[in-house]
Amino acid sequence: MTPRLPLLTAVLLTAACGGGPQRTGTAPTPTPAAPPGVAPVHSPTVQFAPSTMHFLVRQDLHILQDYAGLPPSIDLRYGLYVTAAIGAPADSGLPTTFTIDSIVVDSATQLPPQINLAAARGYRVAGRLLSTGEFISGPCDTSAAASGIGSLLPRFRSFFPRLPVGGVRPAMTWSDSADVTDNPACSGGAAITTHSANQRTAAAWEDHAGSRALRLESSSRYRFNGSGQQSGNPFTIDGSGAGTGFAYLSSDGRYLGGEQRDSATLTIDLQVQGISIPRRQLSHTVVTALPR
């Protein structure tokens, strides 16, 4: 096996785990009571609403590794142009479809030769968006071309910011945790289980990209482990990480982008070769809502 094959899964693991996969968490802490004689002011809650938004997802990954024969550091930088279409509410959530418009790789980044970026154009993932922000996808594309780009794609399950049940408003604080296992057919050939614990805060209304938006801040810690194969070669992965980030949700329920930074340490074991590769990965993800 060439070094690039196990490298791809490891490189993109931080992006996939960034912020961790989360599900519905505990109820938000109550808003402090108003002083006697003063009528409380309740800001209306905000929830996701039907919309069609275009995003640029910019991913920067920096890898440090300590293994003879492999470069001590690797940088991977690329951008994805994604369209997210959220339909009218249904009993099971809001019908939602992600479409990859294109992937643009930094000129200094070299990807494994089996990855065909042209195959990403028009790649679609359909499913439903829950009120908490979790995206539940339907069957994924299992073609050879699609599997080659699977690790480059965003983790759609946690693409949108997480909200408490019933919506969010300023000054709310809540937490959530979950255990989620990826489908290897949809994630570049690796079945990774992640346990995450997250703290979240809704700050205040701001003007963001010309819209009134609520800033949502989060911090998380997570552990992950799993196994898979690339080109018939089995591997296992085990590690942990932490991340912080923020996102913006407009007053009319549109996701307006955000930013996430993660740091993870992990070990990749190649059983057949008897090789163990320790790594540290630093990830910086910026999601920008593009003009409509």
DSSP code per residue over 144-202: HHHHHHGGGS--GGGSSPP--TT-B-TT-EEEEEEEEE--GGGTTTEEEEEEEEEEEEE
Decide: 127 and 136 in contact? Cβ < 8 Å. yes
In 10 A of CB 254, how many CB atoms? 23
29-33, 65-69, 99-103 — which one is most confidently predicted on average?
99-103
- Cα–Cα distance between 22 and 188 in angstroms, integer? 21
pLDDT at 185: 65
Note the pLDDT of residue 146: 67
Best CA proximity match to 196, nearest among 177, 217, 216, 173: 177
Mean pLDDT of 115-130: 88
Sketch out the chain's domains with CATH numbers: 4-19+47-289 (2.30.230)
pLDDT band at residue 188 under the 50/70/90 scheme: low
Mean pLDDT of 80-85: 97
What is the per-residue pLDDT for 119? 80
Q: Can you give the pLDDT at residue 30?
A: 41
The torsion angles phi and psi of 178, rounded to 5 degrees, stand at: -165, 160
Spatial CA neighbour of 291 closest among 210, 236, 215: 210
3-state SS record for 159-172: CCCCCCCCCECCCC
pTM of the predicted model as reported, rounded to 2 decimal places: 0.82
279 or 31, greater pLDDT: 279
- The answer on pLDDT for 125 being more than 60 is yes
Instruction: At 178, list the tokens.
Output: 């979950």
Residue tagged 């009571």 (tokens): 33
